[in-house]
Structure 1
Amino acid sequence: MPRAIVCLLDSVGIGGAPDAAAYGDEGANTLGHIAEWASEGKADLEGLRAGPLNVPNMDALGLGAAVKLSNGTVPPNLSDTPKGGRFGVGREVSKGKDTPSGHWEIAGVPVPFEWGYFPQTEPTFPPELVAEFLKRTGLPGILGDKHASGTTVIAELGEEHIRTGMPICYTSIDSVFQIAAHESHFGLDRLYEICRVAFELTEPLKIGRVIARPFIGETPDTFKRTGNRRDFAISPPEPTLLDRNAAAGHQVFAIGKISDIYAGSGVTHKLKGTGIPQLFDKTLDAMEMAADRAFIMTNFVDFDSEYGHRRDVPGYAAALELFDRRLPEIIAALRHDDLLVLTADHGNDPTWPGTDHTREQVPILVFSPALPAGEIGIRPSFADIGESIAAWLGLPPGRHGKSFL
């Protein structure tokens, strides 16, 4: 009986979004620009890697061909001639370029409303929101109150946070309220509790997520975020693929931050992991445990959080190559009628100005030993991915999207 596995390469966009200009992202191309950078032999001061981008396993499934389909250009050292599987391009119809929008649409539910955002001012949060947050939590105040990079703001304010007990609150261009606090000095459970309060206060503003960002260390040089991040997210507006498969009595494995993104809805098994190697291991563990008609979804967040937002081009290239080296392990573990899908939720071009997501189309790479190779074209909605998986698992069609299988 069939199973389906989705490896979501968080932020690995491939350019070409027809509405990119409306977001200031016309010309952004995460995968293409990384490959161009690598082919030019620019200096990698950290010694992470060298030479052209080397991702032969994804390329064999159609990665280079998908980029060409998206924007007309084959990236350096990639090919437009896949060796197996089906390839295509996903085009998002949801507004914005946030994580929940892309994920929900991939699971068959485009976002029907506009997200709320905080202004790019300092302070950024409404005074009445901060006042109520402090009243309900008993905190002496907050630090930050601005748009910021998470690692930068922790280095800047971490010592003051430890000294005063005030959490570091910040946001970005995404629909998000983030709270950083020290795991031991402030306490992990306490951080989660104040994030629950913040979520109750921001939900009416249509802020998509409140994110707990715990860290450790004692000085700016030693501060480090931990894997105990937790997202408090608005629930999808209707049942997603996860809900539909769970309601049919089948397993749903949510790996990495997947459960947080879907507010736990439809998840029967939650597996946490930090870093690409551990997330790969957890995916392989899930494949061993998964019964017939199970759905497994893993978010490989490091592409986005560690390299895209930090505009770390060599780090991003090295992460893509690491993922590619381990991809054969998942392919080898597939049953004859398993379906593997590689895709992304948005872009985050590390060569682009700023530190935020970029509006891009995404690759759709589909492989099964039981599936003939071919092209699926440019899909008008990410929801086509969810409906294709639903069809593979024998679920009734949903309201959005159309299967390409």
Structure 2
Amino acid sequence: MTRAIILVADSLGVGQAPDAEAFGDAGANTFHHIVQHMDKIGDPIKLPNLQKMGMFNICAEANNVTYPNLPEVDLIASYGYMAEISSGKDTPSGHWEMAGVPVLFEWGYFKEKQNSFPQHIIDQICHEAGVDGILANRHAPGTDVLTWFGEEHINTLKPICYTSVDSVFQVAAHEEHFGLERLYDFCLVARRVLDEHNIGRVIARPFVGEDVNTFKRTGNRKDFSVLPPAPTVLDKLFDAGGDVISIGKIADIYADQGITEKYKATGLEALIDKTIEQIKSTATEQTIIFTNLVNFDQDYGHRRDIVGYAKALEYFDSRIPELLACLTKQDVLYITADHGCDPTWPGTDHTREYVPVIAYGPSINAVNLGERSTFADLGQTLSKQFGLAQLDYGTSFWTDISK
């Protein structure tokens, strides 16, 4: 009997994927470019624990780069890097694929940069939700729309609706003036309307504050996702009587399917705290504790904040000893990502990259897993770890890492 703890370092790509050119991302490399930038400004990034877990080896092998200034260390974890076969570089595709179900169909997208949503869709959503209209209707970063439209939203109570290159319809609204539950209800209407257009996610983005100087997103974000197209490893463990504990936005990404418990937390510190709390308090067998560390992506990747991303990685690294100290003999900690979001890259969108896969546990070998052809290798490994039926995609590396 066993337990798995999965930490998704949201957007921590490790170099251009084999098909990156098709996405306009040839040359993107989230981790390496952060390291390079910190060296350039004279503040080298310090990640001693991730180094021992193979993080620098992963990026070096995936991209044929070197890190000559690093001290030599004994590696304590198995490590490799995974390519994505899903059609997009979005959050649901990455997460579903790592759980064994790649997205091999094309999502619907709102491709126009301005007037992104067709009028008939806006009219239908507004009519069914009982609002007078929307603001924005464009591609935009989530923080910018608050600056551009926040005060007008308070005055008109029209929700701020925007999108990106991902298959997404995002809605920002004031928690008090518009109302949090009203925002969720509006998003539920949008979710129903957009189902026929194959839009992956509708995201509620609540905020507070009274003017452009005080507007701030809250921790009450909620994603309204479509269901994965097939049972994931989470479903299979759930059906076998195991537990799947969601921390952060995991439950939203999987539309609550295959989830037995869910916990919200806001900020990197709180997400790690909640993960440690669950490691200490939950059953030590047939359990997945699944955490998305969203702040790497939303606070630093999309905002192209290189130094902020580096400091967040250093903070994460500083908490790793606490995480490892909580593990029982049969536990396995996996660290991975769902896509890239290179903060040195033009624009504010995700980047098509390899992602790391790290496996550590008291009963786990430290081996080089090399290049993996799909994120689904992680799902297949979890399936093998828990003695579940084989998934349709992926190749397990369980026999390679287990002693």
- Unmatched segments (≥5 aa) in structure 1: 43-50
Partner of 1:269: 261
Query: Helix, strand or coil: the match of 2:341?
Result: coil
Instruction: Tell me how far 1:396 sits from its aligned partner.
Output: 2.0
- Pick one of 358, 363, 370 that aligns with 1:370: 363
Q: Counterpart of 1:189 in structure 2: which amino acid?
A: E
Q: How does 1:5-404 map to 2 (within 5 A)?
A: 5-41=5-41, 51-75=43-67, 78=70, 83-291=75-283, 292-404=285-397
Q: 2: CA distance between counterparts of 1:40 and 1:279?
A: 31
CA deviation vs aligned residue, 1:187-222 (integer Å, no higher than 9, x gap): 000000000000111111111000000000001010
CA deviation vs aligned residue, 1:374-401 (integer Å, no higher than 9, x gap): 1111011100011111211222211111
Q: 1: CA distance between counterparts of 2:20 and 2:72?
A: 24
Instruction: Tell me how far 1:27 sits from its aligned partner.
Output: 0.3
Q: 2: CA distance between counterparts of 1:168 and 1:323?
A: 33
Q: 2: CA distance between counterparts of 1:150 and 1:372?
A: 42
Partner of 2:401: none
CA deviation vs aligned residue, 1:340-383 (integer Å, no higher than 9, x gap): 10000000000000000000001111111101111111011100
Query: Helix, strand or coil: the match of 1:304?
Result: helix
Q: 2: CA distance between counterparts of 1:222 and 1:77?
A: 42
CA deviation vs aligned residue, 1:230-252 (integer Å, no higher than 9, x gap): 00001001111111111110110
Using a 3 Å threshold, how does the CA distance of structure 1 residues 173 and 286 change in structure 2: closer, same or farther? same
* TM-score scaled by length of structure 2: 0.97
Contact 2:16 2:25 in 1 (8 A): no
Q: Across the two proteins, how many residue pairs are aligned to each other?
A: 397
* TM-score scaled by length of structure 1: 0.96
CA deviation vs aligned residue, 1:46-100 (integer Å, no higher than 9, x gap): xxxxx10111101100001110121111357557865111000111000110000
Query: Helix, strand or coil: the match of 1:277?
Result: helix
Using a 3 Å threshold, how does the CA distance of structure 1 residues 287 and 133 change in structure 2: closer, same or farther? same
Between stretches 299-308 and 383-392, larger displacement belongs to: 383-392
Contact 2:83 2:373 in 1 (8 A): yes
Contact 2:85 2:104 in 1 (8 A): no
Contact 2:34 2:343 in 1 (8 A): yes
Q: Counterpart of 1:313 in structure 2: which amino acid?
A: I
Instruction: Tell me how far 1:13 sits from its aligned partner.
Output: 0.1
Q: 2: CA distance between counterparts of 1:314 and 1:228?
A: 26
CA deviation vs aligned residue, 1:135-160 (integer Å, no higher than 9, x gap): 11111110000000111111111110
Q: What RMSD over aligned residues (CA atoms) do the two structures have, in Å?
A: 1.2
Using a 3 Å threshold, how does the CA distance of structure 1 residues 102 and 327 change in structure 2: closer, same or farther? same
Contact 1:116 1:205 in 2 (8 A): yes
Q: 1: CA distance between counterparts of 2:209 and 2:67?
A: 40
Contact 2:245 2:288 in 1 (8 A): yes
Query: Helix, strand or coil: the match of 1:89?
Result: strand
Q: Counterpart of 2:156 in structure 1: which amino acid?
A: T
Using a 3 Å threshold, how does the CA distance of structure 1 residues 133 and 75 change in structure 2: closer, same or farther? farther
Contact 1:62 1:80 in 2 (8 A): no
Q: Counterpart of 2:107 in structure 1: which amino acid?
A: W
Q: 1: CA distance between counterparts of 2:115 and 2:71?
A: 48
Between stretches 105-114 and 68-77, larger displacement belongs to: 68-77
